[in-house]
Amino acid sequence: MKQAENRPDPREAALKLLVKSEKSSVPLDRLMEEVLRQFSDKRDRHLLHALVYGVLRNRLRLDTVLTHLLRRDPKHLEPELLCLLRIGVFQILEMNRIPHRAVVHTAVELARKIRLPWAAGLVNAVLRRAIREAGTIPLPSMESDPVRSLSIRHSFPEWLIETWMKRLGTESTRNLCEAFNRIPPLVLRTNTLKTTRPELLNVLAAAADHAEETGASPDGIRLIHPHAPVFELPGFSEGLFQVQDEAAQLIGLLIDARAGMSVLDACAGRGGKTGHIVQMMQNRGRILAVDVSAEKLAALDQEMKRLGASIVETRICDWQSGSLPETVGHFDRILLDAPCSGLGVLGRHPDIRWRADRRELKTFTERQIVLIENTISLLKPDGRLVYAVCSMEPEETDGVIDVVLQRHPAIRKVESIPNRSKGPLAPFWRNGALRTSPHMDGMDGFFACILSKDTNHG
C-alpha cells in the first residue's frame, strides 16, 4: 500500500510538465526526459507521454471546445486549471480506453491535489458537459473559412496555416498538417565506430513493437513504439547509437567528411551531428565543436565519451559577435547547423508551434546571414560549408542564401550533389539543395545547401 501511495501519478506529472513547458524556453523533449526518469512503470510512462504530446498536438481544438463549454475564452483561467481541463477534454475526445467517469473523477481529485479545491466543481461540470457535447460542437467549414478550419481541426496557429497555404496550396497544407500530427517513430543512427547496423538491429529487435532499417540513411534504424525511454534502450549506455531523425542523418552525408580532415561544427549544440561527423571520419582527424552555450558543450563532451569519439575539441563562441581567431586554422569542412524557427520539426516538437511567431522569422534570417559570413572566413579555398536548418520556410532557406550570394561575390553555391554522396541524397536534392518534408518524405523538414569560396576572389 505504501508503495502505491508513493508511486508518481502520470496525470499530475503531465499537468506540471504542460504548465512548465508554457513558461520555460527549455525544449519539451528535454523536460520530458527529466520527468520520465521518475517512472518505472511502462504504462505510466506511455500515459504521461500520450497526454503531454496529445494535448500539445490538439491544443487549439481543445481550446475551441472549452470556449463552447465555458461560454468564454479559456485563456483567462489559471494555467494549471486550463491545462487540467485540456487534459480532461483530450482524454474524452481521443483516449477511448479510459472510461469517461474515471477521467472526470481523476481530474476533480487532481484539482484538489494541486491546491485548486475551489475549481473542483468547475472541472466536474465542464468535463461532464464535454462527455455530452464535445463531439457535436460545430467547427468552421473549409468552404467558408479554410484557414480557420484547418487551423482549428489540426491545431496550428492561423498565421502558419495562411503562410503554408499561400506557398503550398490547400491540399498540400492539409497533408503537411496531418503529417506533423502523426506520432513519429523513434529514429536512431548506428554508431559505426562500435557496431554495424545489422548488429544493432539485432540488439534492438525486442526493444520496440517493430524495428526496421531506414530507407534513405545507410546507418538509420526506425523503432515503432519503443518499450522504454531512449536512455534505457539496450546499447545506449555502451554508445552504440545516437537519436537522430533520418533527415538530420542526410545532412551528415552531405558534409562528406573524411578521415584526416579538419572539420568545424560551428553550432554543435549537444553533439547530434558531431557524432555523425566523427564516425564518417573514422575517428581520425580533427573536429572543433563550437557553441555559444557552455552547458550544451558540456553535454556534448559527455556524449562524445559515450560514443568513443576522441577527436573532438570544444570551444565557446558567439558567431554573432565575430569569428574565431585565425590561430584556430582553416577547415576542410564546416557544418553550420544554424539556429532557426524549428518549423520543420513540429511533429517531434509540438510545443514549437505555440512558441513560434511570424516576426521571429526575420530575426532568424538576419542572424543566419551573419553566421554564414562569420564562419565561411575559416573555410579552406577548396573546402565546403554546409548550411542547414530544420525549417522549410523560404525566409530561412533560399532567402538566406540569396542574400549571402548577393553580398559576397567570393561565395559560391554548389548546385549539384558531389558524386561520393549521390546515392542516398539524390531523391531529396531539389533546386540545388537538400530538401526534406514530412508530408512528402516521411521525415523531418530540413534544408541544406553547400557553399564554397571562389579561389579567384581574394
Query: Residue 176's closest CA among 194, 151, 210?
Result: 151
Q: Is 234 exposed, middle or buried (0-12, 13-18, 19+ CB in 10 A)?
A: middle
Query: Residue 439's closest CA among 392, 397, 396, 400?
Result: 392
Farthest-apart Cα atoms in the chain, separation: 78
Q: Which of these is catalytic: 177, 340, 390, 449?
A: 390
Question: Which H/E stretch holds residue 435?
Answer: strand 433-435
What is the DSSP secondary-structure string of 20-35?
A: HHHH--S-HHHHHHHH
Tell me if residue 390 is catalytic.
yes
* Rounded distance between C-alpha atoms, residue 429 and residue 115, angstroms: 55
* Rounded distance between C-alpha atoms, residue 387 and residue 337, angstroms: 6
Three-class secondary structure of residue 412 per DSSP: strand
All three cell numbers of 143: 468552404
What are the strands of the beta sheet with 241-243, ordered from one edge? 208-213, 220-226, 186-190, 241-243
> What angle in degrees, to the nearest 10, is found between the helix axes of 120-133 and 79-94?
30
* Rounded distance between C-alpha atoms, residue 398 and residue 392, angstroms: 9
* Rounded distance between C-alpha atoms, residue 381 and residue 331, angstroms: 9
Contact 186, 208 (CB under 8 A): yes
> What angle in degrees, to the nearest 10, is found between the helix axes of 28-36 and 42-57?
160
Sorted by sequence, the CB contacts under 8 Å of residue 384 that are 6+ apart come out as 255, 256, 332, 333, 334, 414, 450, 451, 452
* Rounded distance between C-alpha atoms, residue 376 and residue 252, angstroms: 18
Query: Residue 287's closest CA among 334, 325, 240?
Result: 334
* Rounded distance between C-alpha atoms, residue 57 and residue 28, angstroms: 13
445: phi then psi, degrees, rounded to nearest 5: -90, 110
Residues with catalytic roles: 390
